[in-house]
Chains A and B, each alone.
Chain A
Amino acid sequence: MSVSSGRVRAIYRKELREYRRKGSIVWGMAILPLIFLIQPLITVFALPSSSSSQLAGRHELLYLLAIPALVPATLAAYTVVGERQQGTLEPVLTTPVRREEFLLGKALAVLAPSLAISYTVYVFFLACVELFAAPGVAPALVQGPDLLAQLVFTPLLAGWSIWLGVAISTRASEVRVAQQLGILANLPSVAVTTLLAYNVIHPTLAIALGGAVLLLVLNRLGWRVTSALFDRERLITSTR
């Protein structure tokens, strides 16, 4: 099987156009991570300068890796069941598009705003820390490896979250149910990033490399498994 970049691009462009026409979709995605920032910002702002020595060697910033896991969840969960409910799925499925192409186009279209929002929120957080935290806190908190981890793991975690959401969307019969399940399905990722941030799981280079490889494999598997779950007949007739 070969994947047609033209057909993937057609789906991807169509999705982005729809997001642009309905800006509330993207703004809605940004609300959750902004709320997610409130607690860490309050904590950081409350830190005195004297705490900077305690912060060294800790990885509080990894807490923010939960953002790319949560941002795409609801949009990804909408992708298939949403089209089905608005009656636009059948015409698309009558075209030569393969399910792998359809799903990849959808996933990439969710990934683009998810990355933009996740990185923007992260930069916003860092800017707030630099500008408003007590002297010495920012240099102690913002460490090179954590920044690199954020840069590398954001697309990997977002990708995994998207495939979970899309997989749920291919089997769900209702948008709201799919979105709730999409959020729930991403809680394990959030739990892992939280455990890393609080040093319950001590983050090391080996764990980082292992985690990256695992997420790459999960993303690849996610595409394949979601494609296998995508059943044209069930989606069109809802009979099995």
Chain B
Amino acid sequence: MYHLLKWLISRLGRRTALASQEPVAVSAPGGHVARPQGDDLVSPQKPAVPSAGHDAVALSVRNLSKRFGNRVAFQDVSFDIGHGEVFGFLGPNGAGKTTTVRTLGTLIAPTSGSATVAGIPLAPENGVEIRRRISVMPESPGLYLRLSVAENLECFAGLYEVPGGRDRIGRVLRAVGLADRAGDACGSLSKGLRQRVALARALLPDPQVLFLDEPTSGLDPVAAHDVHELIGELRRAGVTIFLTTHRLEEAERLCDRVAILNTTLRTVGRPDELRDRLFAKTLTVTTLAPLPEPGRVFAGLPAVDGWRQDGPAGYVLGVSDPAVAAPAATRALVAAGADVLSIAQSRHSLEDVYLELISQDEEARRG
């Protein structure tokens, strides 16, 4: 039966090759991504990035838009992701995050704009070549529940044509801590373990770009922590990761840069950059008793741009450089005979940035 099958496929394939006008897949000369040697997950002999993308970026998106009829999924999205970067893609439900992943993963076609994924232009004829170089872990693991963990991975190793399939399956299972569960039916695994199997599946082809769509969605804190650890390991191994998530602390902890999408791209940058861009730096001073003349104390201090009262004995100083302003303010307060309870630099989280941008959008929508 096997030989009959093989013969049949080769016959059909030959005929199709003669009849088809589909362009030949892009060849892949050029260099390869620099990765730590000896790493368990990332092969140093991974497929080379074509010369077009080698010295550029892992992922480049220009004015990309997707509409479903009259409904805009996302529009005019542009960003670049460097090799080895962990890029967080944040946004509320319905913002277009998953659609963006599906578009970049060649599952759906963009309405307009362009992109280069793993060095290959995003185009229908390049779909196979792009999918060879990337890996997508969808939000739902989508495992064959009747099959064992190893059988699920064997199927995907075959689809990716992974050389040394069994060895590779063993390696990825060890990497996700499931080596002892290889024979278990996926249907018998907990949600967290299924998520790990899906991650192992995504690691099988040693991808140049790994798309993780809500990898910790619905997981308990321990399972989510395990997934974070795995992402951290991949990051250290130099894998380029495109991570969509609702969990802002996850993005802040794992990502080099983040983008916030709300149909349009609201902002892109490092989490600290975004905080600085959106929020003024401040020092909050609290004294035991109200200062008699706060204006005289704070006026003219280096790196202090202004101040305002915040409660009976609280003062918020707008500063350009907290490292300069804080010691100067301390000295001025002591010289004025104030009993200082605390001087604290304001800390805005990524969540503050996110909420601020989304609320701005809500206000704009309300008119």
A residues in contact (CB < 8 Å) with B: 1-14, 17-18, 21-22, 86-98, 100, 104, 108, 112, 220, 223, 232-233, 236-237, 239-240
Contacts and interface: CB of A to CB of B under 8 A. Distances in A.
A57 B5 CA distance: 37
B9 A5 contact: yes
Interface stretch (B142-150, B265-273, B281-289, B338-346): B142-150
A96 B128 contact: yes
Contacts of A14: 144, 147, 151, 155
Q: Could you say which interface size class chain B belongs to?
A: 35 or more
B311 interface: no
A87 B102 CA distance: 15
B10 A5 contact: yes
12 contacts: A2-B17, A14-B151, A21-B146, A87-B140, A90-B140, A91-B141, A91-B198, A92-B159, A96-B132, A96-B161, A112-B1, A240-B68
B69 A239 contact: yes
A96 B9 contact: no
A4 B136 CA distance: 21
Contact of B13 (A3, A22, A233, A236): A3
B94 to A, nearest CB: 13
B158 A10 contact: yes
Contact of B161 (A6, A90, A223): A6
Contacts of B20: 1
A96 B201 CA distance: 14
B105 interface: yes
Interface pairs A-B: 6 shortest CB-CB: A10-B158, A3-B13, A1-B20, A94-B136, A95-B159, A21-B146
Nearest to B152: A14
Contacts of B15: 220
B155 to A, nearest CB: 4
B306 to A, nearest CB: 51
B108 interface: yes
A95 B156 contact: yes
B6 interface: yes
Contacts of B128: 96, 98
B142 A90 contact: yes
Given A8-B9, A104-B9, A239-B69, A97 B107 contact: no
A5 B2 CA distance: 11
A2 B12 CA distance: 9
A180 to B, nearest CB: 25
A94 B16 contact: no
Nearest to B130: A96
Contacts of B134: 94
A47 to B, nearest CB: 37
Interface in B1-25: 1, 5-6, 8-10, 12-13, 15-17, 20, 22
Contacts of B136: 91, 94
B57 interface: no
A5 B158 CA distance: 10
B183 to A, nearest CB: 13
A97 B6 CA distance: 17
Contact of A93 (B107, B147, B151): B107
Given A5-B9, A7-B158, A10-B158, A94 B17 contact: no
B21 to A, nearest CB: 9
B131 interface: yes
B58 to A, nearest CB: 17
Contacts of A232: 107-108
A110 B144 CA distance: 17
Contacts of A233: 107-109
B194 to A, nearest CB: 11
Contacts of B108: 232-233, 236-237
B160 interface: yes
Interface in B108-138: 108-109, 128-129, 131-132, 134-136, 138
Given A1-B22, A108-B8, A18 B146 contact: yes
A8 to B, nearest CB: 5
Contacts of B138: 90-91, 94
Contacts of B147: 14, 17-18, 21
A93 B154 CA distance: 16
A158 B65 CA distance: 44
Nearest to B201: A91
Contacts of B155: 10-11, 13-14
A240 B134 CA distance: 26
Contact of A97 (B129, B143, B146, B159): B159
Most buried by A among B105, B157, B161: B161
Given A2-B17, A94-B131, A223 B107 contact: no
Nearest to A100: B16
B68 A108 contact: no
Most buried by B among A11, A91, A223: A91
Nearest to B2: A9
A93 B17 CA distance: 21
A5 B17 CA distance: 13
Given A1-B20, A92-B159, A239-B68, A9 B142 contact: no
Contacts of A5: 6, 9-10, 13
A117 B359 CA distance: 63
